[in-house]
Structure 1
Amino acid sequence: MAEITYHKQDSTRKAIIFDMDGTLFQTNKVLEISLFETFNYLKSINEWENEIPIEKYREIMGAPLPTVWETLLPNHTEDIREFTDSFFLKVLVENIRNGKGDLYPNVEDIFNYLKDNNWSIFIASNGLKEYLKAIVRFYHLDNWILDFYSIEEIDSLNKSDLVEFILKKHNIKKGAVVGDRISDINAAKDSGLVSIGCNFDFARDEELAKADYIIDDLIELKSIVHKL
């Protein structure tokens, strides 16, 4: 299993683990243009002829990319899916580096608050490492986060296993998982952490209902973290 690109030694006891897409990063701002570029290219090589499935993608937002392409390209070969995955990642990273995305409001404010109050910050995402690295570097998130982890590092591609991996590696004894989808909420519960659901762009009411707390803005984490 490959080592993550970023790593800082620590003896963490308490931490907040954030999802990336739809939690810290407004993925929708680069999603549509990247998906359109990808499927337009598939059209140009005669591998796609229908409308671009942007709505279907939004429905499965946050799923591991192999699942995404199985859903969006159900009748295509595995080779085409792998090619599409690689092309989409390249386009997505380029759009991030060109500043076409954005963080959600108050990311820096809440990161400063957590750091000032001795909470370690991690990112655990279903996104690929190169994608996450592009966001971390462009927005200088490494000024606050201790490390970031991709689902690629876990053979099961299960967010709960990824969070458990982080807990063991950094000796985390208490904390919370902050995210917008059921995989984040389940990861918190499976690991004995507090689950905080973000009622943002891609969130679903039936999934958020299972969280310990629901927030409409990241700044609301201050009062919740204080209770922890």
Structure 2
Amino acid sequence: MNEKIASQLPQAAIFDLDGTLFQTETLLETVHRRVFDTLREEGLYEKPQPPIELLLGSLGMLLTDIWHRVMPDGSPEAHERANVLMLQYELEELESGCGQLYPGVAETLGELRSRGVRLFVASNGLEEYVKAVPAVKGIADQFEALYSAGEFATATKVDLVRQLLDRFGIEHAWMVGDRSSDVEAGKSNGLFVVGCDYAGFRREGELEGSDAVIRAFPELLELLPQAGE
């Protein structure tokens, strides 16, 4: 964790989901294979399956942008079908027990709440997925609200976080995430940004501009004593 710390205890902490709370690769490796197996079976995509690293490296983007990056030579029909299959298979695999939270997530969220920090999720994912992961993994009751681009039809995470702040009357908060979109959303809304450097699939320079960088989720708690001084 770097040395720069928050100056006050936040009213709230707003978390990205994939690569921040949830080890997405533990779910997507299976989902990715199933999506492209089905696309081939249906004759919508004949080329070899793109590397899973392309999909993981696109997390944090809007879903339409993800498929343009992962499957740039795919037809609009293939992209649309991939959207449907991705959500279907994510929900199926979650229900079967696939996918894991990062170590210490549940305990750290509980400790943050016990200290009076309001907790939220803001993700560029689809509504059903963003609500399913916390529910299935047993942490949904820690959050006051789960905001997703899929539900609120926002074009950027900046807009999504702004809607959340306005709706809940939050004036100072932490934005916690692993992608440049999280840093941008936090900085554009005047928040203290905590970059998460443990997902393993971020791009170089992704967290530039963060106020603090953590390398394990429980390190968030190390910011709290200084924030309350």
Q: Normalization by structure 1: what TM-score? A: 0.90
- In structure 1, the partner of 2:210 is 211
- In structure 2, the partner of 1:43 is 40
Counterpart among 166, 178, 181 of residue 180 in structure 1: 178
Root-mean-square deviation (CA, aligned residues, Å) is: 1.5
Rounded Cα–Cα distance in structure 2 between residues aligned with 1:58 and 1:131: 16
Letter in 2 for 1:46: G
Secondary structure in structure 2 of the residue aligned to 1:208: coil
Counterpart among 53, 65, 68 of residue 67 in structure 1: 65
Letter in 2 for 1:59: G
Note the C-alpha offset of 1:127: 1.1
Structure 1 gap segments, 5+ residues each: 1-12
**Contact 1:153 1:162 survives alignment (8 Å):** no
- In structure 2, the partner of 1:102 is 100
Note the C-alpha offset of 1:151: 1.0
- In structure 1, the partner of 2:144 is 146
Secondary structure in structure 1 of the residue aligned to 2:119: strand
Q: CA, structure 1 residues 146+133, in 2 after alignment: closer, same or farther (shift >3 Å)? A: same
Letter in 2 for 1:44: E
**Contact 2:16 2:177 survives alignment (8 Å):** yes
Letter in 2 for 1:124: A
Rounded Cα–Cα distance in structure 2 between residues aligned with 1:132 and 1:199: 21
- In structure 2, the partner of 1:5 is none
- In structure 2, the partner of 1:91 is 89
Note the C-alpha offset of 1:207: 1.7
Rounded Cα–Cα distance in structure 2 between residues aligned with 1:154 and 1:207: 25
Letter in 2 for 1:43: R
Rounded Cα–Cα distance in structure 1 between residues aligned with 2:129 and 2:39: 21
Rounded Cα–Cα distance in structure 2 between residues aligned with 1:161 and 1:128: 16
Note the C-alpha offset of 1:154: 4.0
Secondary structure in structure 1 of the residue aligned to 2:23: coil
**Contact 2:26 2:99 survives alignment (8 Å):** yes
Answer 1 or 2: higher relative contact order, Cα 8 Å, separation at least 6: 2
**Contact 2:126 2:150 survives alignment (8 Å):** yes
The correspondence of residues 123-134 of structure 1 with structure 2, limited to 5 A, is 123-134=121-132
Note the C-alpha offset of 1:189: 0.4
Secondary structure in structure 2 of the residue aligned to 1:227: helix
- In structure 2, the partner of 1:224 is 223
Note the C-alpha offset of 1:43: 1.1
Q: Normalization by structure 2: what TM-score? A: 0.89
**Contact 2:57 2:203 survives alignment (8 Å):** no
Note the C-alpha offset of 1:140: 2.1
Rounded Cα–Cα distance in structure 1 between residues aligned with 2:137 and 2:54: 28
Structure 2 gap segments, 5+ residues each: 1-9
Note the C-alpha offset of 1:137: 1.3
Rounded Cα–Cα distance in structure 2 between residues aligned with 1:23 and 1:161: 20
